[in-house]
Amino acid sequence: MATEQPRESRHEEIAAICERKAGGVSETRDEADKYTVVGAARRGTYANWLTPIEEHFVCHRNDIPDIDADAWAVSLRGDVDADSNTDLTMAEIRDDYPTVAVAHTMECAGNGRGQHRPETGSVQWGYEAAGTAFWTGTPVSSILREQGVKSPAGKWLTAIGGDPSDGDDVFARSIPLSKALDDCILAYEMNGEPLPEEHGFPVRLIVPGWYGVNNVKWVEELRVTDSMVTEGSLDRPGEHAYWQQVSYRLHPEGVEPDALETIDTFDTWEQLEGAVEHPYTFDVNVMSLVGAPDGESPVTPKSDGTVEVRGVAWAGDDAVEKIEISADGGESWANGELFGPEYTGAWRLFRYDWEPDVGTHRLLSRATDELGRRQPASISEPEAWREALPNDEFPWNEGGFAANAYEPNGVEVEVEKN
Ligand SMILES: Nc1nc2c(c(=O)[nH]1)N[C@H]1C(S)=C(S)[C@@H](COP(=O)(O)O)O[C@H]1N2
Ligand SMILES: [Mo]
């Protein structure tokens, strides 16, 4: 299958992106040499709420398409008004609908894959494939309402990327129509700048709080359907369902998940708890990262003996309720304080006044969301599947998706005498 082939041009693309991003990102190891993957170069990215474009990770499989924005159109297909199987130009998308901005924490579903033991292959992300930006664009609901789409019950929206496939697979991803109508947008700006080409110029889907893969870049078609994309369900050549039904699903080693037309539970964690046998990566699992101290240089406590620990915590489209910090390997935990902007789908900042002794310590952060889900300690052995979560472990899975264990993300900090 084409998706297993290395891609020659990725090295050039990565070099060009790193140059444009001026040191804010660095290349991530890709065992299979397929993806364009750069991640935040420094832990300090996670000491701030807004991620500058320069520090925002990039992840995609095919070459960035060469696009003439004036000629670009987004086709509306499927279960929409028959006489308006329309193609929307960029000018129409910008001018004929309300303009909104949403804050969204983008996290690649493969973030943390590099923490799986044994290794899983593919892109070996540590924690650097996450960032929060403001995305400006048009509500999907405004566009679809005009097409006569009203009730989302049981329906799906499939977004198709215009990136030229390396083989014959189409980059198509389906999300429940209820989510699409709730808060998704077609975005054409990122942090107030025109969308950079590597982030989806001229237009991409933003699915607030859901894993990166759902946020289709270079969107050329939106299709309202009764089921998720399955093989042969799009009226175009090529393989349609690879990115929805084969890749980006959680399963033990050697398992080929069944392609499903629909599921009732989109919450990734609920699927993982058993609601869906081999979960799809939709909303993001609860996660946190310490951004400061960053471990790159020693810290000196202030005159009152404290060091401010600062970071970010997120839980997809659920709210973060609690953040805890440990400096003794998880033996004891102290509550940190959540502060700063509070948008559905974007992370919160946290802080904690740490009173360390002189010496070297490893700081851990652990978040809990409003539904009481807490980051597990570590990633399990490959054999554990349903047994992992009750043991405070994240289940090792063959594709290395959706990991949110806290131990692998700890930071070693040297504290000097003040
Ligand atoms: N068309 C298209 N959209 C895509 C991809 C892709 O390969 N093709 N990669 C997805 C994945 S896996 C991720 S993690 C996000 C990353 O978005 P970013 O590069 O803007 O950070 O884009 C998603 N959208
Ligand atoms: Mo991703």
Element (H, E) at 351: strand 348-354
pLDDT in tens, 152-193: 889 999 999 999 886 789 999 999 999 999 999 999 999 999
Question: Tokens standing for 146?
Answer: 């005009």
> Minimum-distance ligand to the CA of 402?
2
Atom of ligand 1 nearest to the CA of 211: 14
Residue nearest to atom 20 of ligand 1 (CA): 199
What is the mean pLDDT of the segment spanning 389-413? Answer: 98
Which of helix, strand or coil describes residue 389? helix
Atom of ligand 1 nearest to the CA of 198: 19
Q: Report how far ligand 1's centroid is from the alpha carbon of 147 (Å).
A: 27
Give the chain's domains with CATH numbers.
Answer: 287-415 (2.60.40.650)
**Average pLDDT of the chain, as a whole number:** 95
Question: Tokens standing for 101?
Answer: 């901005």
Question: Tokens standing for 77?
Answer: 């297909």
Which of helix, strand or coil describes residue 145? helix
Q: Report how far ligand 1's centroid is from the alpha carbon of 62 (Å).
A: 10
Q: Report how far ligand 2's centroid is from the alpha carbon of 95 (Å).
A: 31
Classify residue 412 by burial, with Cβ atoms within 10 Å: 0-12, 13-18, 19+: exposed
Instruction: With CA atoms as reference, report the closest residue to 221 among 235, 208, 242.
Output: 235
Residue nearest to atom 18 of ligand 1 (CA): 58
Residue nearest to atom 8 of ligand 1 (CA): 60
Which of helix, strand or coil describes residue 193? strand
Exposure string of 328-361, with b = 16+ CB inside 10 Å and e = fewer, is eebeebeebebeeeebebbbbbbbbbbebeeeeb
Strand residue runs (E) in 170-286: 172-176, 185-190, 193-194, 204-206, 219-225
Mutate which of 13, 25, 27, 59 for ligand 1 pocket (most atoms within 8 A of beta carbon): 59
Task: Give me the sign of the Cα torsion angle 21, 287, 176, 150.
Answer: negative
Q: How confident is the model at residue 79 (pLDDT cuts 50, 70, 90)?
A: confident
> Minimum-distance ligand to the CA of 220?
1
Which of helix, strand or coil describes residue 195? coil
pLDDT in tens, 85-134: 689 999 999 999 999 999 999 999 999 999 999 999 999 999 999 999 99
**What is the predicted pLDDT for the residue at 235?**
87
Which residues' Cβ are closer than 6 Å to ligand 1?
Answer: 56-62, 106, 108, 161, 163, 171, 199, 212-213, 215-218
